Amino acid sequence: MWYFTWILGLLLACSLGIINVLRLEAQETWDREHIPLDPLTQLMTKDTMLGRLQEKVENSKRNGFPFSILFISLKGFKARNNNLPDHEMDAILRGVADCFKEDIRAGVDIAARMGDQDFLIAMPGSPLKKAEQIAARVKNEISERVKAPGLVVEAAVGVAEYSAPTEDFAATTNEVGELIRVATAKSGL
């Protein structure tokens, strides 16, 4: 008789697990459909990304997994290319966004347009080494694939990892800002 109780408990646990998975999938679908996106690149907006980064830092603190970001900036893009028509500059920015959309993990990594020529990719669970490899690949893809007549598209990429407060990350109240500052500094801008 005890095994019927055990089986019933097992079925209840499985049902609760399935319900939780369905709830998480529904939340992810809702997020994808209701998150404000940059109209040009179809990436997250800066404000949305800053909120999500705070969540990722808190998750990293709680679970102890590393969390890396890539800061991507087009070097002197506006200054060198002011005489290009707006539609060509828009096509270039969409091309840049497409370059790293292919390198990020769907449903895990998040990307945002942070400014006119700045982008940010958040990579939860990725250690610094892996993020550096992806950064090098993204930088190469941008220089190889994003082309326009008489145009130079050069990206500066900085990588930073948040795993716990260290020398690079003083224990501040604005850990997200500090994380972005470190990645920007490493990009050489």
pTM: 0.72
Nearest to 168 by CA among 155, 156, 151, 185: 185
Q: Who's near 165: CB < 8 A, 6+ residues apart?
A: 171, 175
70: three-class secondary structure by DSSP:
strand
d(CA 188, CA 153): 16
Dump pLDDT digits (tens) for 144-171: 887 766 676 788 888 888 865 554 444 4
Could you tell me the pLDDT band of residue 33, with boundaries at 50, 70 and 90?
low
Q: Which of 103-107, 121-125, 168-172 has the highest mean pLDDT?
A: 121-125
d(CA 160, CA 187): 10
Nearest to 149 by CA among 84, 77, 95, 80: 84
pLDDT at 34: 65
User: Per-residue pLDDT averaged across 128-153, rounded?
Assistant: 82
38: three-class secondary structure by DSSP:
coil
- Distances, alpha carbon 127 to alpha carbons 31, 40, 112, 114, 183, in Å: 26, 30, 20, 22, 14
pLDDT at 79: 62
User: Per-residue pLDDT averaged across 82-86, rounded?
Assistant: 65
Q: What is the mean pLDDT of the chain?
A: 77
- Distances, alpha carbon 14 to alpha carbons 1, 19, 21, in Å: 21, 9, 11
Nearest to 31 by CA among 125, 107, 95, 121: 107
Dump pLDDT digits (tens) for 61-73: 888 888 888 888 8
Q: Are 101 and 110 in contact (CB under 8 A)?
A: no
pLDDT at 32: 58
Percentage of the chain modeled with pLDDT above 70: 72
Residue predicted with more confidence, 38 or 176 = 38
pLDDT at 170: 45
